[in-house]
Structure 1
């Protein structure tokens, strides 16, 4: 097993490799930190926090967008011996009260816009540090660092951190109840980074973007901890609307995304091709995508391309696809990954056909993030690879996947009952139904608690149904499959907010609001075709027979979707109970739709 290295020790070794190299930057590079500057700021921040009484075992909260200033503040807190963690910027004052009370922090480092909300939480925060501009009663970062005492022993402080110390808390945005604070130790983190990099190599100078919220464990691992351990260069993306520009600016060598981001990139390519006005260029794109699709279908079927098809793909790559990858900013990737939720196999196939193989990973905060992956050369589309070396697994009688090993969290902070439910003799009950083939490749079926059992007793995975339907049309942002104890499956469908505007523009629709679009015959027909196309990939009992398109967009952190884009199924069932009952009524209302009876063999 690799040597345990704490996050501060890893950072110190990494920062010494090339102090002049750029460690963190903004899009375009107007703002940047070299490793040497970064290390100096870390020392200063640790000294300031120590002067405020922060030491080993204390907690420090951060609340800000993805920005260059975040890094020396977070890493400085680590060097003071603290447990540093981020909260989602969308949390209400009431939610902040719960998280801060559970975490026990008395210091928050944030942007000025969040100061009033933090104060309204009612938690007795002793010190608020503002990273951008002054707010009365708060400290600036400069004032914080000026507090450092001349006798502060920086090296002794960070060297006192041990593997058993808690490096971070990750508050899981559960689909029910309050979030649970997952305690991740330095030993957990050290194993995660080194085991992951043994499969998906990360080298000093590799380029990546940080655009997911830093409260999301996926961003903490890929955009902070791998950076500390191996020296990747981070470009901070403060607004996801800037992600497209950031990818072209950075041309990342390693990059990951949640499925919805990959789906949006796919939709962007499809919309761009559909909207191409030059006939010759449109014909070339259509030809190249057709060739790419043949490669994708072969990969999904597990069969190689024949020599003629392989030669045609190479030609399409030379003439069109390489330029398409460059236009996306994904032409220099060593590896790409998708995680945090199941991704449609069709989406993986689409990018594979473009020459961008994606490794799907599986894990959870309770397993320090990533627990299974396979390198792109060994990836099998539709699987989440194999467990990282050093982990062991078993499958319980009810099909639940259990994992044991160095990635398993310490506990849920302040929740001994919930910890005992999750951990038995070191085995973590993941809550996922997972199958494993003879070669050790894992397939995630669904969450154990979310399986549908229809009135005929058939077990189904709603996530599989939803991913299959979503893959058929970029217009669908989310859908919730209904069918538990019902005679057939139906769906509540919500349009994709980011696809709605370009779709409306291409179809000369003046109003891109959800309420307007869901009533438009063209939109209804497009969704109906997409549902029918998705249904062709599902067994008869799984197929969606009726659906309602809701006149709203579902926002992450709202009633229907968590901040990590998971459906809140019980609240959805309660909130839309009337719509659900209408889908099962003998006489179908005019706004209850059925899949199109038109040709639906190809996704729209």
Structure 2
């Protein structure tokens, strides 16, 4: 369809210094909270079968081979048709972006990195013109030189390039270089253990490992040496972008001498090579070939490698941004201007990979705009200085996981509580109007501005957004984990509408989306253009036996009749989980089995998530089947809504984890907000943010564990959840006892995944002694005993 054949001529968007505040006067001071497009009462979901991919035939609709091809599926018309989104490869899109926006900034980073001072404080952001910058042409040229360097070092078609370190331009270059050299890119989480990193390097078939610093190399070498794989790792070179190794340096990998080179060494090497081989390999790429590997952050066992094809990635950009979002988020990708984002989420995660690496190339190639990726500093999350980089980048698009949004909300609530007198009165008045405005923009609302909103925005709301660096934001989004409704309401009161999306690595991240024109708190949105989303009752023994659930009358519905497993089908669905031939036949058989358990004979990707779809087309997740607590009476209890209610009713609570599977009643482990607790590390004993307000006389977690005010506050929050019929419809759902833990759950301790999801089985096993103490006690609050 012609509406996807967008402009590809060079354009001249405004420079950084002349950034527009918004697309019109109303949105200049609050572009996130803008529903100038009429608010919808029904999701914009096509009911024409021809707009969805044809799955005629017996299947299977997947492949597990690294050199396999994605099984083609196209719709007869619309965005998902071959004509609506012509299949191509990511290097071709990067080339098109370089040709049409050659002089526009693509990547910007502060180099050299401004270090923390002796007191651990971060210096101010550099002026924009002092950030090291690569234009789109330089992005393409650097990636191409890297590809030639990788080939010279021995990279073969269908090999992987593995990256390990914090976000940096070299991640981007390596991703596209891997493809140009005929292979695929595979990222590692910065927080991966050496053993996990070694598994991914070996499993991906990485011939090149691009890494940040020497400690990572030392840990990786030790872990690789300890592995007992059938075949040794394929690594032919280690390339660092964080320091300069000695000239001619080599390291031992299973008896082989493998060179260690700097990034500049590889670029210099590639610059001396002819173009013949890289041209041949790039031309030989097929849209159905694997472009990137995204390793799942599962709670048990080795992670699985999701294979995403060039077409998966390309179509996701077209569907999510060029179709669904462009129609529902006025101002984004409109005209000829610069869209900006800040890269800080792990680039190995589907969100970071898609939003920061591949989507900017796709959107710059296909739209009249160009995207610029700014990089956060490696210490920003731990040092609490992410806001400084947001203020420097002034993003127009921002994706944050719930933990980040909740940390920002905690800080703002703390600052607001410190106000008094007239200032507090004005702030409360402005936030009340902001909340009214946000509620008017919810699905079915009238999109109206309450009387006095313009003044409230000018005096308070716009200043809050500017202080956060979010005053030019056109689209704010959250995903990767459930977000509490009270967090969305709080940002709504500040004039910031955050939109929830939902998906998984296996579906290239975004499968349902919320837009300013169509969103509802508590819903993760509606299906993106050309993708089918349905809810099925699925047979426990055979995923091919399923019955579609009827549409729910509302998001508040709790009737089991409407609840089932959420499933996806369409062009964004993965090729399959990759089976590494080097690991032997048993591994291949195991991975093929896991893939067949994920994608059924009709091509439906089974998510493992329980949910509903309303008659207006909105999706809501009600639980995860693996997380369901099966009560002593056989009840299926979804813990997350209950846990979220408790957290929402006591600002000092950080995390709640219910336990009760096959037990007579439920108990809960509770952690409190602490200084330094950011999900990666547990933080200190000192109470932080909202926790300080529960009882100002109590400063630490250890003191709160014995404080009557604190115990009463947590008890009240638990009681509130127990008395709420929506999340606790009967006694089997209620929390009967709880315990406050002396420290927070963290990734370092092994209790959270890299995306900050609770590893419930591991937490339960680690605290089984304390759990049994609760079950043997007669008290509601059971004091922690080591």
Q: If the length of structure 2 is used for normalisation, what is the TM-score?
A: 0.70
Q: How does 1:79-478 map to 2 (within 5 A)?
A: 79-112=180-213, 113-122=215-224, 124=233, 125-135=235-245, 136-137=249-250, 138-148=260-270, 149-153=272-276, 154-197=278-321, 198-201=323-326, 203=333, 205-231=338-364, 232-237=371-376, 238-239=378-379, 240=381, 241-276=384-419, 279-295=421-437, 310-398=450-538, 399-414=564-579, 415-425=591-601, 426-478=603-655
Moved more, 580-589 or 188-197: 580-589
5+ unaligned residues in a row in structure 2: which ranges? 1-80, 110-124, 226-232, 251-259, 327-331, 365-370, 539-563, 580-590, 678-686
The whole-number CA distance in structure 2 between the counterparts of 1:518 and 1:86 is 41
Moved more, 130-139 or 255-264: 130-139
Cα distance, 1:55–1:349 mapped onto 2, change above 3 Å: same
Matched, 1:482 2:671: no
SS class of match (1:552):
coil
The answer as to whether partners of 1:582 and 1:592 remain within 8 angstroms in 2 is no
The whole-number CA distance in structure 1 between the counterparts of 2:658 and 2:605 is 28
The whole-number CA distance in structure 2 between the counterparts of 1:584 and 1:316 is 51
1:135-160 CA deviation, whole Å, 9 max, x = no partner? 34310111112222532334443232
The answer as to whether partners of 1:452 and 1:459 remain within 8 angstroms in 2 is yes
The answer as to whether partners of 1:171 and 1:179 remain within 8 angstroms in 2 is yes
The whole-number CA distance in structure 1 between the counterparts of 2:707 and 2:237 is 53
Q: If the length of structure 1 is used for normalisation, what is the TM-score?
A: 0.91
SS class of match (2:338):
coil
Cα distance, 1:585–1:540 mapped onto 2, change above 3 Å: farther
Cα distance, 1:531–1:274 mapped onto 2, change above 3 Å: farther
Deviation, 1:519, is 4.3
Cα distance, 1:70–1:371 mapped onto 2, change above 3 Å: same
The whole-number CA distance in structure 2 between the counterparts of 1:251 and 1:98 is 38
5+ unaligned residues in a row in structure 1: which ranges? 594-604
SS class of match (1:376):
coil
Moved more, 520-529 or 102-111: 520-529
Cα distance, 1:521–1:410 mapped onto 2, change above 3 Å: same
- Root-mean-square deviation over aligned CA pairs: 2.6
Cα distance, 1:280–1:363 mapped onto 2, change above 3 Å: same
The whole-number CA distance in structure 1 between the counterparts of 2:443 and 2:525 is 17
Moved more, 501-510 or 332-341: 501-510
RCO greater where, 1 or 2, for CA within 8 Å and sep 6 or more?
2
Q: What residue in structure 2 maps to residue 3 of structure 1? A: 86
Q: Answer with 1 or 2: which has the greater Rg.
A: 2
The whole-number CA distance in structure 1 between the counterparts of 2:647 and 2:439 is 18
The answer as to whether partners of 1:342 and 1:467 remain within 8 angstroms in 2 is no
Q: What residue in structure 2 maps to residue 71 of structure 1? A: 172
Moved more, 361-370 or 539-548: 539-548
SS class of match (2:670):
strand
The whole-number CA distance in structure 2 between the counterparts of 1:539 and 1:405 is 36
The whole-number CA distance in structure 2 between the counterparts of 1:486 and 1:295 is 45
The answer as to whether partners of 1:171 and 1:180 remain within 8 angstroms in 2 is yes
| Number of residue equivalences | 589
Q: What residue in structure 2 maps to residue 59 of structure 1? A: 160
